[in-house]
């Protein structure tokens, strides 16, 4: 199974669970780039500054090994979930309410996948365009990284 197929599978489950848990008025928009599946969750169909908006991408994580032609080896696992949120007026604190963040965090934790939490400055709406195809995130600050016990092979085999 490819990394894209795995990221799509994880994203479908995440989206399905969050649609049941978050308010029914929230809008879920899916997309995909060459790095993985993407999901934008917003209060309404026109996200704007000050609203609860979350951009999520599930992508593969490069291993420390090279394949037979010298490129970074691509393996089925592990995966990385990148989450972008808007900061509130309090520096370093997300604009997402505690109740909604608890639902999102619960579903992300259930996936057992490493997480990168990114925070935009107050007034900058999270957008799927911030996810670069090389796997990086632009115009945002890395706020936290959480990592479950990941399986790393001992060799490139």
- 87-96, Cβ contacts within 8 angstroms, sequence gap of 24 or more: 87/119, 87/120, 87/121, 87/122, 88/122, 89/122, 92/119, 92/143, 94/119, 95/50, 95/51, 95/52, 95/122, 96/52, 96/54
| pLDDT, tens digit, 9 for 90 and up, residues 5-25 | 888 999 999 999 999 999 999
As a whole-number percent, the residues of the chain with pLDDT over 90 amount to 62
C-alpha radius of gyration, the chain, whole number: 16
Chain mean pLDDT for the chain: 87
| pLDDT, tens digit, 9 for 90 and up, residues 19-58 | 999 999 999 999 999 889 999 999 999 999 999 999 999 9
């Amino acid at each position: 199974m490819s990394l894209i197929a795995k990221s799509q599978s994880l994203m479908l489950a995440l989206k399905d669970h969050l649609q049941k848990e978050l308010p029914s008025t929230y809008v879920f928009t899916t997309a995909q780039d060459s790095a993985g599946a993407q999901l934008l969750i917003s209060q309404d169909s026109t996200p704007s500054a000050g609203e609860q908006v979350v951009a999520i991408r599930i992508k593969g994580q490069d291993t420390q090994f090279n394949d037979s032609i010298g490129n970074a080896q691509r393996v089925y696992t592990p995966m990385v979930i990148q989450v972008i949120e808007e900061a509130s007026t309090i520096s370093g604190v997300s604009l997402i309410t505690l109740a909604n963040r608890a639902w999102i965090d619960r579903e992300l934790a259930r996936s057992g996948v490493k997480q990168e939490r990114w925070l935009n400055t107050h007034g900058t709406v999270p957008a799927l365009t911030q996810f670069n195809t090389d796997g990086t995130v632009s115009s945002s600050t890395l706020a936290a990284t959480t990592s479950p016990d990941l399986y790393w092979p001992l060799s490139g085999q």
